[in-house]
Amino acid sequence: MAIILIRTVIVFLSITVALRLMGKRQLGELELSELVVAILISDLAANPLQDIGIPLANGLIPVAVLLCCELIISGLIVKSPRFRSMVCGRPSILIENGRIVESEMRRNRFTLDELSEELRGQGIDDIAKVKYAVLETDGKLSAMLAPSEQPVTPAQLGIKTADTGYAVIIINDGHLLERNLSVAGRSRSWLNSELKRRGAAGPESVYLMSVNSGGGIYFQAKEERK
């Protein structure tokens, strides 16, 4: 039992490190080569866990090789647009100038129901409102509304708006994030003053508190447990 536990922990940590080395882009989306690597890693890593008679290295070495291959391919994809096009393919325009491109729909085996579903997921309830829709290489659909359907911005109305900047979380579920407090340019005395003003005894009684560069504060106290 102890051997199985140790082998499982080693494999888990190894795969976690491997995926971390692949970078955040691969964690957020999977291109074709990345999907292949992910499937192979999961299959190879499972073998030494299912049979303790298989040396652990038989699972870890192939994972390391696949990781190296993926890092090389990712580097080539970044440096060579032609190589990226060959490995990952090209985006497909499914709607162009408000008209559905049937040939691209058939080539990507994309149905009208799937198109409507993807658009609804982006808050678009009518295909007639779409100017362009592009099926990206990772399978996501990017939709651009027609000019008449786009929301009006303050700039178009000639209204000046204040830049509130980026909001930094200072307290997360009762935990004070000292580094974020420093990044926000605030002191503990300022924080204590703001907490007192809102009736909070301390950070431990706050569920979420954030502040942006414009001075705007979001505050929510913890709910009382019943």
**Residues lower than pLDDT 70 in the chain:** 1, 4, 19-35, 226
> Would you mind telling me the total number of residues written for the chain in this entry?
226
pLDDT at 19: 66
What is the reported pLDDT for 8?
75
Cβ-contact 166, 207 below 8 angstroms: no
Task: Please check whether residue 212 is in contact with residue 167, taking contact to mean a CB–CB distance below 8 angstroms.
Answer: yes
* pLDDT for res 28: 46
- Euclidean distance between CA atoms 160 and 167, whole angstroms: 20
> What angle (nearest 5°) sits at the alpha carbon of residue 20, between those of residues 18 and 26?
100
Q: What is residue 23's predicted lDDT score, i.e. its pLDDT? A: 58
- pLDDT at position 142: 94
Neighbours of 115 (CB within 10 A): 20
Cα 74 from Cα 88, distance rounded (Å): 11
Instruction: Give the pLDDT score at 100.
Output: 95
Q: Is the pTM of this model over 0.75?
A: no
pLDDT of residue 68: 83
Angle between helices 2-22 and 57-79 (to 10 degrees): 10
Position 65 scores a pLDDT of: 83
Cα separation, 52 vs 204, in Å, equals 46
What string of H, E and C letters represents the secondary structure of 84-115? Answer: HHHHHCCCEEEEECCEECHHHHHHCCCCHHHH
